Amino acid sequence: MRAVVYDRYGPPDVLRLEEVERPVPKDDEVLVKIHATTVTRTDCGVRAATPFITRFFTGVRRPRRRILGAELAGEVEAAGAAVREFAVGDQVFGISAWLFGAHAEFICMRESAALAHKPAGMTFEAAAAVCDGGILALMGLRPANVRKGQRVVVYGASGSIGTAAVQLAKYFGADVTAVCNTKNIELVRSLGADRVIDYTQEDFTKNGETYDAIFDTVGILSFSRCRGSLKPGGVYNPTDGLRNVFLAPLTSRIGSKKVIFPIPPRYTKKEVLFLKDLIEAGKYRPVIDRCYPLADAVEATRYVETRQKTGNVVLTLNGGPVR
């Protein structure tokens, strides 16, 4: 089968398309023929081994896993003897978090993994773009106890996590202030944001407004910068920044304003099914910026690393039906 592989850490050019052995499912696994996958910020960080500490989890001298890619949508090609939830021909979507392997024509996943039947009426491309941003957004909003009556800021509201967070915060009943760049204002407003701030024109931390939660979906702000914009008891939740590993337990003991930094992310079937239900109810949709064929994975990765993508970047493969 074809797969995008890499054998050393470095820039996007270390990726290459290669023929590799097709995996064989174990008794409790399904073999999925992948029609669409994505390139995420996590893929880029693991490939580049930034920060360096990630090598202790992915391989110190060289990558332990040659194939990146976590999100996927496709069809069940084969099922192990013990599998009961899925059958050959089922259309599925999900995420192979930390195990990766989705930048390939086939992948094996356990029946109990973060995998579910594809939402009715959704294309493979759209389904592949659901789980990473959606689940990371849930991990940011749930620990902050986002609910009706709260005021919430979503910073970086036009990215994969940000577009998900705006929709999910509205679903939970919050009043949402979204922060993004000029070109994405109308898109973010269409996702349900109550107000949108253009960060090129205004610094939300200096407008005198206060919020119950600030969700930094790009991980470039800081607690010190956001603290004055939090109400007493308010929380700052970033998606990146090693300093926050130490700030979270410290602020839990000192002061009323907290940093919450839930790590590591947990990707479960329960969360995939939750997102599926929202999609089928018309209350959630993934945003796709661009689609590339698998052979153009290097170009797709370079685009993701500009940090200017809107929503998700998808890789298509197998010539699967778009439905």
| Structure confidence by residue, pLDDT tens digits, 228-284 | 999 999 999 999 877 888 888 888 888 899 999 887 788 999 999 999 999 999 999
Q: What is the pLDDT of residue 263?
A: 75
> Distance (Å, rounded) from C-alpha 213 to C-alpha 226?
10
pTM of the full structure: 0.94
Q: Which residues contact 253 (CB under 8 A, 6 or more apart)?
A: none
Domain with CATH 3.90.180.10 in the chain: 2-130+286-316
Q: Is the pLDDT of residue 310 over 90?
A: yes
Q: Give the residue, 123 or 219, on which the prediction is more confident.
A: 123
Non-local CB neighbours of 89 within 8 Å, separated by 6+ positions? 75, 76
Question: CATH 3.40.50.720 region(s) of the chain?
Answer: 133-259
Is-contact 310 160, C-beta < 8 A?
no
Q: How far apart are CA 131 and CA 110, in angstroms?
A: 17
State residue 254's pLDDT score: 87
Please provide the average confidence, as pLDDT, over all residues in the chain.
95
**56: pLDDT confidence band, cut at 50, 70 and 90?**
confident
Rounded to the nearest 10 degrees, what angle do helices 160-171 and 131-141 cross at? 50
Q: Which CATH superfamily is domain 2-130+286-316 in?
A: Medium-chain alcohol dehydrogenases, catalytic domain (3.90.180.10)
- Average the pLDDT over 272-301 and give the result: 98
What pLDDT was estimated at residue 33? 98
Residue 320 above 80 pLDDT? no
For the residues 180-209, what does the mean pLDDT come to? 97
Q: Lowest mean pLDDT: which of 175-189, 232-246, 294-308?
A: 232-246
Residue 60 structure tokens: 């110190």
Say what the pLDDT of residue 321 is. Answer: 39
pLDDT surpasses 50 at 322? no
Q: How many CB atoms lie within 10 A of CB 258?
A: 23
User: What are the pLDDT digits (tens) for 72-104?
Assistant: 999 999 999 999 999 999 999 999 998 999 999
Share of the chain above pLDDT 70, in %: 98
Domain 133-259's class?
alpha beta
Give the pLDDT of residue 319.
57
Per-residue pLDDT tens for 21-39? Answer: 999 999 999 999 999 999 9
Query: Which region holds residue 60: left if phi is over 0, alpha if psi is between -120 and 50, else beta?
Result: alpha
